[in-house]
Amino acid sequence: MSGTSTKLDFRVLDEILEQFEYKKSYLIAMLQKVQEVYRYLPEEAMTYIGEKIDGLSPATVYGVATFYAQFSLEPKGKYEIKVCDGTACHVRGSMPVLNAIRNKLNLKEGQTTCENGLFSLEIVSCLGACGLAPVCVINDKVYPQMTSDAISVILDTLLKEEGVN
Partner 1 sequence: MALNIDIKQEQAKAQEHIKEQGLRVLVCAGTGCVANGSLKVIEKFRELGANVSTLTDYDKMTIVPTGCHGFCEQGVLVIIPDKHVTYVKVKESDVEEIFESHVKNNQPVERLLYTDPKTGEHVHKNDDINFYAKQTRTALKNCGKINAESIEEAISVRGYEALAKCIEENNPDGIIDTITKSGLRGRGGGGFPTGMKWKFTAANRGGKSYVVCNGDEGDPGAFMDRSVMEGDPHKLLEGMAIAGFAIGADEAYIYVRAEYPLAIKRLRKAIADAEEKNFLGKNIMGSDFSFTIHIKEGAGAFVCGEETALIASIEGERGMPRPKPPFPANKGLFGRPTLINNVETLANVPLIILNGAEWFASMGCETSKGTKTFALTGEVNNTGLIEVPMGTTLREIIFDIGGGIRGGKKFKAVQIGGPSGGCLTEEHLDISMDYDSLIKAGAMVGSGGLVVMAEDTCMVEVARFFMNFTKNESCGKCVPCREGTKNMLKILEKIVAGKGEMEDLDRLEQLALSVKDGSLCGLGKTAPNPVLSTLKYFKDEYIAHIRDHKCPAGVCTAMKKIVIDPEKCRGCTKCARTCPVGAIEGTVKNPHKIDPAKCIKCEACLNACPFKAISKE
| Using rule CB under 8 A, residue 49 touches partner 1 | no
Nearest distance in Å: CB 68, partner 1: 4
Radius of gyration for the alpha carbons in the chain, expressed in angstroms and rounded: 18
If one counts every other C-beta atom within 10 angstroms of the C-beta of residue 123, the result is 14
Give which of 14, 31, 38, 37 is closest to 69, Cα–Cα. 31
Q: SS3 for 2? A: coil
Contact yes or no for 77/118 (Cβ under 8 A): yes
| Using rule CB under 8 A, residue 50 touches partner 1 | no
Q: Using the rule CB under 8 A, give the single segment among 3-11, 105-113, 139-147, 156-164 that binds partner 1.
A: 139-147
Contact string 64-83 vs partner 1 (x = CB under 8 A): x--xxxxx------------
Q: SS3 for 103? A: helix
Cβ proximity to partner 1: between 114 and 135 the closer is: 135
Binding site for partner 1 (CB under 8 A): 23-29, 31-32, 60, 63-64, 67-71, 85-88, 90-92, 96, 99-100, 103, 124-133, 135, 140-144, 148
